[in-house]
Amino acid sequence: MLKIAVIGAGSLLGRELVDTLEPRECSVLPLSQGTMTRDEEFGDMVMFAPEASLLEGIELVILTETPTVPDLLTGYQGRVLDLRAEPEASLDPMPLAGGWPKGKIALRGRPALEQVLGTVPQLVEGLGEVSGTHLQSVAHLGDRGVDGLMEQTAAIFKGEDPEIETLGYRAAFEVVPQVPRGRMITVKVPAFHGDLLILHLRAAEGSTLSRVATPPQGVEWHEHPASSREVAVSPYLLAHFAPAEEGRAGILTLGFDPILWGVLRPTLRLLEL
């Protein structure tokens, strides 16, 4: 039985990790950061304040938040998986396929968008040029994103100017394009969960685009482009391909939840659970 400690178990991502890992063949120690709220103290999940002594015998530490206890991991000999929103950049990213690489002690998570783009060559044959738009919900920010959008929405309904310190920008009832990066642009949308990636595909010279009949594990073909609501409750990457111009071009719509699909599924695959 794999012994795992989740640091930041009170966060949105931390709670989802504990709930996902506990039913499997592992023992999970939920460690809460800072003072627990009343709901946390009397909730279903029993959490503990992080102490170095609690990590004795733990084989894997998963970071969803930065430890508030100084030197908590000093001397820790087990593996570390850094799933924070801003992980340690010097760490190797988790592989896109397969289990934990031999000889690696610490890994960082990959952005969900990066993982999604990595699946595109496995979904459509004959690819040439790819460009697109990423419609990004606030779920990738965890509790900060969900709480921030809720607070801004409530303030606007009251006729007040929403505070933007939590999110860093005005999100409620706003669509906010970001600066394009190459052929991709991210647009922040006022949705709590569920991201959509709309890709414009052009076929390679002398080729035509065609959908791969059997998608890779974790992907499902949909008869229609998925809505953010459908995506938000699915652990799968929901894909829809619409060819045009006799297969020379097409639109590939990919829907994914940055936590359910972008973190939980690859973590289970990495740990072979």
The DSSP code sequence of 143-176 is: HHHHHHHHHHHHHHHTT-PPP-TTTSS--TT--E
Rounded mean pLDDT of 49-77? 89
Rounded mean pLDDT of 174-193? 96
Supply the mean pLDDT for the chain. 92
CA 253, 259, 261: angle at the middle one, nearest 5? Answer: 50
- pLDDT-above-70 percentage for the chain: 96
Rounded mean pLDDT of 147-172? 95
The helix/strand count (H/E) of the chain reads as: 6, 15
φ, ψ of residue 121 in degrees (nearest 5):
-65, -20
User: Which residues, in sequence order, are CB contacts of 251 under 8 Å at separation 6+?
Assistant: 198, 199, 200, 201, 241, 242, 244
Q: What pLDDT score was predicted for residue 34?
A: 62
* Phi/psi-derived region of residue 153, left when phi > 0, alpha when psi is between -120 and 50, beta in every other case: alpha
Short-list 75, 78, 86, CA closest to 140: 86
φ, ψ of residue 58 in degrees (nearest 5):
-80, 130
Using the predicted structure, report yes or no on whether residue 37 has a pLDDT greater than 70.
no
Both structure tokens of 3: 């012994």
Q: What is the C-alpha to C-alpha distance for residues 74 and 120, in angstroms, rounded to an integer?
A: 40
User: What is the tens place of the pLDDT at every residue in 129-140?
Assistant: 999 999 999 988
Q: What pLDDT score was predicted for residue 252?
A: 98
The pLDDT-based confidence of 1 (bands split at 50, 70, 90) is confident
Domains within the chain, CATH numbers bracketed: 2-109 (3.40.50.720), 115-263 (3.30.360.10)
Q: What pLDDT score was predicted for residue 42?
A: 47
Rounded mean pLDDT of 77-101? 93
Q: What pLDDT score was predicted for residue 114?
A: 93
Q: What pLDDT score was predicted for residue 44?
A: 62
Q: What pLDDT score was predicted for residue 20?
A: 93
Rounded mean pLDDT of 238-258? 95
Q: Which residue has the higher pLDDT, 81 or 143?
A: 81
Supply the pTM of this predicted model.
0.85
Using the predicted structure, report yes or no on whether residue 61 has a pLDDT greater than 60.
yes
DSSP state for residue 2 in the 8-state scheme: E
Strand partners, 177: 187
Lowest mean pLDDT among 19-28, 45-54, 146-155, 239-248: 45-54
Q: What is the C-alpha to C-alpha distance for residues 9 and 17, in angstroms, rounded to an integer?
A: 8
Cα-based distances in Å from 48 to 40, 127, 144: 11, 50, 22
Q: What is the C-alpha to C-alpha distance for residues 64 and 61, in angstroms, rounded to an integer?
A: 10
Q: Which residue has the higher pLDDT, 143 or 240?
A: 240
Rounded mean pLDDT of 90-115? 94
